[in-house]
Protein backbone atom coordinates (compact mmCIF):
# COMPACT_ATOMS: atom_id res chain seq x y z
CA UNK A 1 0.00 0.00 0.00
CA UNK A 2 1.12 3.56 -0.72
CA UNK A 3 1.24 6.63 1.50
CA UNK A 4 -1.41 9.16 0.40
CA UNK A 5 -0.05 12.54 -0.75
CA UNK A 6 -2.07 15.51 0.54
CA UNK A 7 -2.16 19.21 -0.27
CA UNK A 8 -0.08 21.37 -0.37
CA UNK A 9 2.47 18.81 -1.68
CA UNK A 10 3.81 20.22 -4.99
CA UNK A 11 3.66 16.79 -6.71
CA UNK A 12 -0.11 17.33 -7.00
CA UNK A 13 0.60 20.20 -9.42
CA UNK A 14 3.10 18.24 -11.54
CA UNK A 15 2.34 16.61 -14.87
CA UNK A 16 2.86 12.85 -14.94
CA UNK A 17 4.90 11.10 -17.62
CA UNK A 18 3.60 8.25 -19.78
CA UNK A 19 3.74 4.74 -18.38
CA UNK A 20 6.29 2.66 -20.26
CA UNK A 21 5.39 -1.04 -20.04
CA UNK A 22 8.92 -2.03 -21.14
CA UNK A 23 10.71 0.09 -18.57
CA UNK A 24 8.59 0.55 -15.47
CA UNK A 25 7.95 -1.97 -12.72
CA UNK A 26 5.09 -4.42 -12.94
CA UNK A 27 1.87 -2.59 -13.81
CA UNK A 28 -0.29 -5.19 -12.02
CA UNK A 29 1.61 -4.63 -8.75
CA UNK A 30 1.22 -0.84 -9.01
CA UNK A 31 -2.49 -1.22 -9.80
CA UNK A 32 -3.02 -3.58 -6.85
CA UNK A 33 -1.24 -1.26 -4.38
CA UNK A 34 -3.07 1.80 -5.68
CA UNK A 35 -6.43 0.02 -5.35
CA UNK A 36 -5.55 -1.00 -1.78
CA UNK A 37 -4.66 2.62 -0.97
CA UNK A 38 -7.88 3.90 -2.59
CA UNK A 39 -10.02 1.39 -0.64
CA UNK A 40 -8.21 2.07 2.67
CA UNK A 41 -9.04 5.78 2.26
CA UNK A 42 -12.67 5.17 1.17
CA UNK A 43 -12.14 6.66 -2.27
CA UNK A 44 -13.53 5.89 -5.71
CA UNK A 45 -10.45 7.07 -7.61
CA UNK A 46 -6.74 7.61 -7.08
CA UNK A 47 -4.11 9.00 -9.44
CA UNK A 48 -0.39 8.26 -9.57
CA UNK A 49 0.74 11.63 -8.26
CA UNK A 50 -1.54 11.18 -5.22
CA UNK A 51 0.79 8.37 -4.14
CA UNK A 52 4.03 10.07 -5.20
CA UNK A 53 4.22 8.33 -8.58
CA UNK A 54 4.61 10.74 -11.50
CA UNK A 55 3.39 8.27 -14.11
CA UNK A 56 0.15 8.38 -16.12
CA UNK A 57 -1.82 5.82 -14.14
CA UNK A 58 -4.95 5.97 -12.02
CA UNK A 59 -7.37 3.50 -10.51
CA UNK A 60 -11.09 3.86 -10.02
CA UNK A 61 -14.11 1.97 -8.77
CA UNK A 62 -16.99 2.00 -11.22
CA UNK A 63 -20.61 2.20 -10.09
CA UNK A 64 -21.14 -1.42 -11.20
CA UNK A 65 -18.50 -2.48 -8.65
CA UNK A 66 -15.64 -3.18 -11.07
CA UNK A 67 -12.26 -1.69 -10.23
CA UNK A 68 -10.01 -0.67 -13.10
CA UNK A 69 -6.45 0.51 -13.49
CA UNK A 70 -5.99 3.00 -16.32
CA UNK A 71 -2.49 3.42 -17.76
CA UNK A 72 -1.86 6.30 -20.22
CA UNK A 73 -5.58 7.22 -20.22
CA UNK A 74 -7.19 9.85 -22.41
CA UNK A 75 -10.64 11.06 -23.40
CA UNK A 76 -11.67 10.37 -26.99
CA UNK A 77 -15.02 12.16 -26.79
CA UNK A 78 -16.83 14.18 -24.17
CA UNK A 79 -20.33 15.64 -24.10
CA UNK A 80 -20.08 19.44 -24.44
CA UNK A 81 -23.14 20.04 -22.24
CA UNK A 82 -21.49 20.18 -18.82
CA UNK A 83 -23.14 19.06 -15.58
CA UNK A 84 -22.30 20.59 -12.21
CA UNK A 85 -21.79 18.10 -9.41
CA UNK A 86 -20.17 17.68 -6.00
CA UNK A 87 -16.58 16.50 -5.93
CA UNK A 88 -14.16 15.64 -3.20
CA UNK A 89 -10.59 14.40 -3.31
CA UNK A 90 -8.55 12.10 -1.08
CA UNK A 91 -5.66 14.58 -1.24
CA UNK A 92 -7.94 17.38 0.03
CA UNK A 93 -9.71 15.81 3.05
CA UNK A 94 -13.24 17.12 3.69
CA UNK A 95 -13.09 19.69 0.88
CA UNK A 96 -16.21 19.57 -1.30
CA UNK A 97 -16.69 21.68 -4.42
CA UNK A 98 -19.24 21.92 -7.21
CA UNK A 99 -17.39 21.27 -10.48
CA UNK A 100 -18.69 21.31 -14.06
CA UNK A 101 -17.74 18.24 -16.10
CA UNK A 102 -18.91 16.33 -19.13
CA UNK A 103 -21.71 13.94 -18.03
CA UNK A 104 -20.81 11.33 -20.65
CA UNK A 105 -17.41 10.44 -22.11
CA UNK A 106 -15.76 7.85 -24.29
CA UNK A 107 -12.29 7.15 -22.94
CA UNK A 108 -9.30 4.97 -23.77
CA UNK A 109 -6.59 3.50 -21.59
CA UNK A 110 -4.23 0.56 -21.41
CA UNK A 111 -4.91 -2.09 -18.76
CA UNK A 112 -2.23 -3.69 -16.58
CA UNK A 113 -1.54 -6.38 -19.21
CA UNK A 114 -0.82 -3.81 -21.93
CA UNK A 115 -4.19 -4.24 -23.68
CA UNK A 116 -5.85 -1.16 -25.21
CA UNK A 117 -9.35 -0.58 -23.76
CA UNK A 118 -12.16 1.76 -24.77
CA UNK A 119 -14.91 2.51 -22.28
CA UNK A 120 -18.06 4.63 -22.27
CA UNK A 121 -18.75 6.28 -18.93
CA UNK A 122 -21.51 8.50 -17.62
CA UNK A 123 -22.54 10.16 -14.38
CA UNK A 124 -20.21 9.67 -11.42
CA UNK A 125 -17.98 7.29 -13.42
CA UNK A 126 -17.39 9.94 -16.11
CA UNK A 127 -16.80 12.58 -13.41
CA UNK A 128 -14.29 10.37 -11.60
CA UNK A 129 -12.36 9.55 -14.81
CA UNK A 130 -12.07 13.27 -15.66
CA UNK A 131 -11.03 14.17 -12.09
CA UNK A 132 -8.27 11.53 -12.04
CA UNK A 133 -7.11 12.42 -15.55
CA UNK A 134 -6.79 16.06 -14.41
CA UNK A 135 -4.50 14.89 -11.58
CA UNK A 136 -2.16 13.35 -14.16
CA UNK A 137 -1.98 16.75 -15.86
CA UNK A 138 -1.18 18.50 -12.57
CA UNK A 139 -4.67 20.00 -12.33
CA UNK A 140 -6.64 19.77 -9.09
CA UNK A 141 -10.40 20.25 -8.73
CA UNK A 142 -9.79 23.45 -6.76
CA UNK A 143 -8.84 25.14 -10.05
CA UNK A 144 -12.42 24.85 -11.37
CA UNK A 145 -14.02 27.22 -8.86
CA UNK A 146 -13.72 30.90 -8.04
CA UNK A 147 -11.59 32.06 -5.11
CA UNK A 148 -14.78 33.06 -3.29
CA UNK A 149 -16.32 29.58 -3.61
CA UNK A 150 -13.00 27.94 -2.71
CA UNK A 151 -12.61 30.12 0.40
CA UNK A 152 -16.16 29.29 1.53
CA UNK A 153 -15.49 25.57 1.04
CA UNK A 154 -12.17 25.87 2.90
CA UNK A 155 -14.01 27.35 5.88
CA UNK A 156 -16.29 24.30 6.00
CA UNK A 157 -13.25 22.05 5.53
CA UNK A 158 -11.49 23.57 8.55
CA UNK A 159 -14.55 22.92 10.70
CA UNK A 160 -14.80 19.31 9.53
CA UNK A 161 -11.07 18.72 10.02
CA UNK A 162 -11.25 20.20 13.52
**116 assigned to some structural domain:** yes
Q: Give the model's confidence band at 25: pLDDT under 50 very low, under 70 low, under 90 confident, else very high.
A: confident
**107 assigned to some structural domain:** yes
Q: Over the stretch 66-110, which tens digit does the pLDDT of each residue have?
A: 999 999 999 999 988 999 999 999 999 999 999 999 999 999 999
**The CATH number of the domain where 115 resides is what?**
3.90.45.10
**4 assigned to some structural domain:** no
**117 assigned to some structural domain:** yes
Collapsed DSSP state (helix, strand, coil) of residue 125: helix
Collapsed DSSP state (helix, strand, coil) of residue 16: coil
The whole-model pTM stands at 0.96
Q: Over the stretch 136-149, which tens digit does the pLDDT of each residue have?
A: 999 999 999 999 99
Share the mean pLDDT of the chain.
96
- Annotated catalytic residues are 132
Which domain, by its residues, includes 60? 10-80+102-140
∠ CA 143-7-49, rounded to 5°: 85
**147 assigned to some structural domain:** no
**46 assigned to some structural domain:** yes
* Element at 157 (helix H, strand E): helix 147-161
The residue-averaged pLDDT of 56-67 equals: 98
The count of structural domains within the chain is: 1
Sort 146 into a burial class: Cβ within 10 Å, 0-12 / 13-18 / 19+: exposed
- Cβ atoms of 123 and 103 closer than 8 Å: yes
**42 assigned to some structural domain:** yes
**23 assigned to some structural domain:** yes
Amino acid sequence: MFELVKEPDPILKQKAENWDFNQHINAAVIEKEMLETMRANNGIGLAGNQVGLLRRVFVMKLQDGREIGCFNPYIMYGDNDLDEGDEGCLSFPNLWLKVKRSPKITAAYIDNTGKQCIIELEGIDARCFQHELDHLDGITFTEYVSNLKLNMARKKQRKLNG
